[in-house]
Homo-oligomer: A and B are copies of this chain.
Amino acid sequence: MDFSSFLTSLGTSFVIFVVLMLFFTWLSRKPGNQVVYFPSRILRGLEPWEGGRRSRSPVAWIREAFAATEADIVASAGVDAAVYLIFLSSVLGIFVLSGLLLLPVLLPIAATDHAYKSLAESNSNATFNNLDKLAMGNVHAKSSRLWAFLLANYWVSFVTFYVLWKSYKHVSDLRAATRSSQAVRPEDYAVLVRDIPADLQGQSRKEQVDSYFRALHPDTFYKSMVVTDNKQANKIWEELEGYKKKLARAEVVFAESKTTNNPEGTRPNNKTGFLGLIGEKVDTINYCNEKINELAAKLEIEQKETLKDKQQAAALVFFSSRPAAVSASQTLHAQMVDTWTVTEAPEPRQLIWKNLTKKFYERQIWQYGVYGIVFLTVVFYMIPIAAISAFTTLQNLRKYLPFLKVIVNQKAVKTILEAYLPQLALIIFLALLPALLLFLSKAEGIPSQGHVIRAASGKYFYFIVFNVFLGVTIGGTLFASLKIITKTPKKIVNLLADSLPPNATFFVTYVALQFFVGYGLELSRLVPLIIFHLKKKYLCKTEAEVKEAWAPGDFGYATRVPSNMLIMMVVFCYSVISPLIIPFGVVYFALGWLIARNQALNVYVPSYESYGRMWPHIHSRIVASLIIFQVLMFGYLGLKKFYYAPLMIPLIILSFFFAYVCNKRFYRSFSNTPLEMAYKDTKEIPNLDSIYAAYIPPCLKPEKPDDVVENYEDAKTNVSRTSSV
């Protein structure tokens, strides 16, 4: 990529960004779009704009995003969003501090050397551009100028250690403060029990669980809820809900048809057969009412049967105090470790009901199976991605697909293609993965949604590191250097380090594309806006349907965090080799932070709350990126024949030590609740029945909401008594 196409890329990206910003300013003022731009505020019952001013300045959102405190963020989007913002600001901090020293020192040192020039003199084939002159590649081998680049690694690393340590402490304190607050959270009073052994005394599961926990926790045991197989009940319930929606819709249609011309209205009809296309024609309202009554009765019978006969080997056990639940969740209960496995209960809305009943060894086998599949996918995805990135450089296209020459040689087409083709290929490719990874993570038998998302996000990170970063870096030079590789397979590390500098501009463009276009789309919410208006106009009839159409969703950490990580990793790895990338990284994370703050305050609604449990994962991946950067720099300094390159080794060891200390000091209080936190709340006993009711799955809730718990309880105990007689 030459200098002009680099500038073209930057320029077009920037123009798109400006256009999207203008769109945002213009569209967000229209009252009809409020539900798209301020759904979170509306759901919390606030005015869309502070103070209700409609004619505010176009940059008001920036001022508001800056002015908000962390407590505001927590209140509006939860601790997880606050932790995500801490992640962005930490990386931003690292890059700002690194850039402060690296830019003024390394750029002059690189620019005043002449390695490329002397290469060009001795070898007329070699080409270089003005950007290359500002990078480490322009320094002569064995030059004592390399000392500056070596020390720059130390600076970057120590800055990272400092910022990460402060952030980890901050997140840990934030988690402790919010978890030990007075608010009653059902998951604090419950534990999840799995792998209940077969009972030999002919008790029902419910009796077995009750007697076991009553014996072990005589003072604090409250109640238990045995997990049931709800497949059938769920099916009926979903059908019932479907008819309820249909009825509401038909009633609106009927009401709307009562115009002045036709005061009676037209009663809506539908066909009962496949997709409403064939079969008998019926009056929708009557038909739905009939169906609802029929299904409601069926559901009631099925609910009783489920509670009676479909009890599984897992349960939720409720305690009368938080400390009791915390202690129980961390204490080994049974002598055989694969029975009576007790863990902290997930939030009700995070619970993956189907995974609860998976057996101990089933979970283990699935877990390793999934790891195997992911490993194979990581390895074999590398082949197509390497091919894509190698093919999509324009020179290669021309070389291998000569019939494209006519199009490609056009000046304008060429520049644009050259600027965007590889990056686009990459982005499309990456968009296909998350669904697969979420599915695989769920198959592991993890009981909570938040944990599934963390697991998927971890897998996505491996993909990104191996396929995108290493894939593009090696792949870009793969076709050119295929011969070298086959000859000396051991030198793959050297090859990698060698191919870093030529790929620097690729990644600078990639970063720029991500922040200008990506953030522009994020802030302007063009896609959700269009979808909302289309739906509202053509599909939605009832209030509930309109509300569903603008439901903002959550942040989507499973893909958001890893793609930020990729940028971070790229900037880390090129920070010393080609320090010009740092300002782009700073802009990326600064803009990202600002926009994420706006979205947290106004748009997204969390679908669960894990109190920052994703932070340790983020932390260890930042450290991993740092270590990869250090190893690559070690290789690259070695290639430059710098005798003191081994001085990188203590730095790498230090990084591992840092990771180890952080892990020891902070990690366990994220995976287990410390007793301290549970005890800070010394309030009287909360309404335990409502805590219990929070865990009843919707398909098993009786119609009358006032005696949910009694009904549920009664059904179980009556039934178990009958069955044990």
Contact = CB atoms under 8 A, between A and B. Distances in A.
A661 B668 CA distance: 25
B666 A337 contact: yes
Interface stretch (A49-57, A326-334, A493-501, A633-641): A326-334
A667 B327 contact: no
A335 interface: yes
Given A323-B216, A364-B664, A664-B364, A674 B176 contact: no
A672 B335 CA distance: 10
Chief secondary structure at chain A's binding surface: helix
A173 to B, nearest CB: 8
A172 interface: yes
A331 B331 contact: yes
B665 A332 contact: no
A284 to B, nearest CB: 56
Contacts of A331: 326-327, 330-331, 672, 675
Contact of A332 (B332, B364, B669, B679): B669
A277 interface: no
B665 A338 contact: yes
A147 B216 CA distance: 55
A3 B545 CA distance: 94
Interface string A657-701: 000010011111100111111010000000000000000000000
Nearest to A176: B335
Interface centre among A327, A669, A672 (most CB of B within 10 A): A327
Contacts of A665: 336-338
B327 A676 contact: no
Contact of A327 (B172, B328, B337, B338): B328
A291 B328 CA distance: 55
Contacts of A173: 335
A215 interface: yes
Contacts of A333: 674-676
Contacts of A337: 664-669
A616 to B, nearest CB: 12
A682 to B, nearest CB: 9
A361 B662 CA distance: 12
A679 B323 CA distance: 19
A676 B215 CA distance: 9
Contacts of A176: 335
Nearest to A679: B216
Interface in A329-367: 330-338, 360-361, 364
A211 to B, nearest CB: 12
A338 B323 CA distance: 21
Interface residues of A, number: 36
Interface in A312-335: 323, 326-328, 330-335
Nearest to A666: B337
Interface in A274-331: 323, 326-328, 330-331
Interface string A140-176: 0000000000000000000000000000000011001
Given A216-B679, A327-B328, A334 B364 contact: no
Contacts of A664: 337-338, 360, 364
A360 B335 CA distance: 29
Contact of A676 (B328, B335, B666): B335
A467 B270 CA distance: 85
A33 to B, nearest CB: 44
Interface centre among A333, A335, A661, A679 (most CB of B within 10 A): A335
Interface in A483-540: none
A646 to B, nearest CB: 20
Contacts of A323: 216
A336 B669 contact: yes
A115 B489 CA distance: 41
A676 B334 contact: yes
The 4 closest A-B pairs by CB, nearest first: A327-B327, A337-B668, A332-B672, A330-B331
18 contacts: A176-B335, A216-B676, A331-B672, A331-B675, A332-B669, A332-B672, A332-B673, A332-B674, A332-B675, A333-B674, A333-B676, A334-B674, A334-B676, A335-B674, A336-B669, A337-B667, A338-B665, A364-B664
Given A327-B331, A330-B332, A335-B677, 20 more contacts: A172-B336, A216-B679, A327-B327, A327-B328, A327-B330, A330-B331, A331-B675, A332-B675, A333-B676, A334-B669, A334-B676, A335-B669, A335-B674, A336-B669, A337-B664, A337-B665, A337-B668, A338-B664, A338-B665, A360-B664
